[in-house]
Amino acid sequence: MTATSADFALRAESLDAADPLRDYPARFLGSDDPEIVAYLDGNSLGRPPRASAERIAAFVADGWGRRLIRGWDEQWFDLPLTLGDRIGALLLGAASGQTTIGDSTSVLLYKLARGALALRPGRTEIVLDRDNFPTDRYLLESIAADLGLTLRWLEPDSRGGVTAADLARVVSERTALVVLSHVAYRSAYLLDMPEIGAITHEAGALLLLDLCHSVGAVPIELDSWAVDFAVGCTYKYLNGGPGSPAFGYVAARHLDDFVQPIWGWMGRAEPFDMAQGYRPAPGIRRLISGTPAILGMIAVQDTLDMIEEAGMAAIREKSVALTEFALDLVRAWLIPHGVVVSSPVDPARRGGHITIDHPRFREIVERLWQRGVIPDFRGPDGIRIGLSPLSTTFQETLTGVAEIRRELDH
């Protein structure tokens, strides 16, 4: 029997009532804003935690306003490392001393890729896929052109992603570096880890993983997967705010030999000596270049508090439940209008969002935004429904998909 709108409404109400994380959405600003009917873009820019508004105000008044330059000696100088360690422990499955935070994703991706390639001299190929995020592709094209290397392009199914079999067909003794996204930015395809790592390493290559669309939504185990390098942002599921800094991970086994190409004073051994000549600092500090964005690290800490309290297992469980509910709504309400699901239907192979395609979505999204229903458009004709487990309710999901149906009805 086909589910009715009333059936879905009762189901959303029941799911929200039984949700172990049901108290968390109220901890975010905008959750009670009547102009925001449904926010379905938490995988692109997360809502601000209420606690972050207080923390940022206190930082401006006290940490910056009263401590002034003394703040560097008291906390800020080591904050990229201490906060990096916390991100590593809570979210990355990474032992201490391997993660730091401070640059943009693009800058850290460049540093990690160049440093990794220097560890595989004589190898001539970089493997990446055409469905990876544009910055990943553009940066690797630039690096390959600069170093005279060859790009080996994977051509995954656009509704899926790179499989272990896909990778095994292209890696060889010529492969220096494999660059992949743990969760595909468009389809939400979730890589089969650690199989990807095993295939990469059997060929003698190194693996650089982009975690931007997985960190905070999907459990990650970088150390046990034997990942070599990783990068991820903090403004999606970690709610750090627009342009909040990214984090970078270098496996401990590479740290002694890893040298990144942007040499700055804060990544030098004994930086306050202001001495002639660059010598990389020991450990993960060598990934740092210049003065990190301390203000941009403030809000991330409140989301880390919530994640530690809730637990990643519960967060992933709700993420799966949200996307399953959204897919049921899409099947019932949108597929009859010609909508196509462009994400894996198997939750074990899917991250925290789903993508649906229809020729009218570009024009529809603008009208949805005007009514306070805020999904994400991704060309050529896709809507991403991003469901952040800590801040999104099942009722919100129901309302958002219902408004998309309303547009297609008319």
- Angle, CA of 95, 101 and 102, to the nearest 5°: 165
Annotated active-site residue 318? The verdict is: no
Residue of 11, 67, 77, 133 with catalytic role: 133
Phi, psi (5° rounding) for residue 173?
Answer: -65, -10
Evaluate whether 199 touches 171 at the Cβ level (below 8 Å): yes
Enter the tokens of residue 290. Answer: 């210049």
Enter the tokens of residue 106. Answer: 């693009």
Please report, for residues 5, 22, 46, 402, the alpha-carbon distance to residue 2 in angstroms, rounded to integers and kept in the order given: 10, 28, 34, 16
Residue of 236, 268, 286, 405 with catalytic role: 236
Give the count of alpha carbons within 13 A of 318, CB side only.
29
Annotated active-site residue 19? The verdict is: no
Comparing C-alpha atoms, which of 18, 24, 15 is closest to residue 308? 24
- Rounded Cα distance, 316 and 159, in Å: 21
- Angle, CA of 136, 236 and 103, to the nearest 5°: 55
Phi, psi (5° rounding) for residue 376?
Answer: -120, 130
Residue of 41, 210, 302, 357 with catalytic role: 210
5 Cβ partners below 8 Å, 6+ apart? 402
Residue of 152, 159, 318, 384 with catalytic role: 384
Enter the tokens of residue 226. Answer: 């034997």
Annotated active-site residue 78? The verdict is: no
Annotated active-site residue 384? The verdict is: yes
Residues comprising the chain, all counted: 410
Enter the tokens of residue 37. Answer: 């009917």
- Rounded Cα distance, 95 and 286, in Å: 17
Q: What are the residues facing 250 on neighbouring strands? A: 229
Pairing of strands 382-386, 353-357: antiparallel
Evaluate whether 225 touches 194 at the Cβ level (below 8 Å): yes
Evaluate whether 25 touches 269 at the Cβ level (below 8 Å): no
Evaluate whether 188 touches 236 at the Cβ level (below 8 Å): no
Residue of 235, 258, 361, 377 with catalytic role: 235
Enter the tokens of residue 208. Answer: 């650089």
Annotated active-site residue 133? The verdict is: yes
Evaluate whether 108 touches 139 at the Cβ level (below 8 Å): no
Comparing C-alpha atoms, which of 199, 400, 388, 252 is closest to residue 310? 388
User: What residues are annotated to the active site?
Assistant: 133, 210, 235-236, 384
